[in-house]
A and B are shown apart, each in its own frame.
Chain A
Amino acid sequence: GNSVTQMEGPVTLSEEAFLTINCTYTATGYPSLFWYVQYPGEGLQLLLKATKADDKGSNKGFEATYRKETTSFHLEKGSVQVSDSAVYFCALGGGSNYKLTFGKGTLLTVNP
């Protein structure tokens, strides 16, 4: 079945540092890949997505590239801000399944 393995947290960075959160997946077929973010007290919000191999999703300075050869979808940001502090979830979906399959989530704290 489908599965997502995500970098364990928590991750603590200083403002303007470079961020990488690793995500690898196992899936049959050709899934879509997503990064969701959860700010304190709020629901999961879609951050970015990619629907096929070599696609790059980007939003708010975050990027992730769908790498079929390494089955990865790592999240990166060149310069984090305090407002990026949140929990980040990698997820996959697609095919005949209705559901999304999530990773465990990574708590990011950015200090000023």
Chain B
Amino acid sequence: EPEVTQTPSHQVTQMGQEVILRCVPISNHLYFYWYRQILGQKVEFLVSFYNNEISEKSEIFDDQFSVERPDGSNFTLKIRSTKLEDSAMYFCASSISGTGYNEQFFGPGTRLTVL
């Protein structure tokens, strides 16, 4: 069964460093998403991506964040200068269509720890 994969499973970084979180969405999906969950809080939407551009983003997704689909399979989230409050579990998801009525398929997450 096809699945979304994410690497690494756990990333530890120093404050101010850049990190890139990687995702491989399901191969025939066209819409891609990043969510995050700070420990003990809700899963929060960050950004959606379609046709090589951002289709929607939240207020969390400021200039420190960027997304890219560098090739036909990977989808990345970059945080340019990490802050302590960026420590969270980051989930990648993909879907065939783009409305919120349809199922999004999630990866296992990357736990980011900023020291």
Report A's interface with B, CB cutoff 8 A. 4, 31-32, 34, 36, 41-46, 49, 51, 89, 91-105
- A101 and B106 in contact, given A44-B91, A93-B100, A93-B101 (Cβ under 8 angstroms): no
Residue of A nearest to B45 (CB): A99
In the docked arrangement, what's the CA distance between A2 and B19, Å?
A: 30
Check if A99 sits within 8 Å of B109, measured CB to CB. no
Residues of B within 8 A of A (CB): 3-4, 6, 31, 33, 35, 37, 40-45, 48, 50, 55-56, 58, 91, 93, 98-109
* 7 CB < 8 A contacts A-B: A43-B3, A43-B108, A46-B103, A49-B103, A94-B101, A98-B56, A105-B43
Which residue of the partner chain A has the closest CB to B98?
A98
- Residues on the B chain within 8 Å of A92, using CB: 100
- Most A CB atoms within 10 A — which of B31, B37, B100, B101? B100
**How far, in angstroms, from A2 to B40 measured CA to CA in the complex?**
20
A43 touches B56 (CB 8 A): no
Interface pair B101/A99, CB less than 8 Å apart = no
State whether A94 touches B99 (Cβ < 8 A). Answer: yes
Contact check, B31 vs A98: say whether CB atoms are below 8 A apart.
yes
Which A residue sits closest to B107, measured CB to CB?
A43
Q: Which partner residue on chain A sits nearest B31 by CB separation?
A: A98
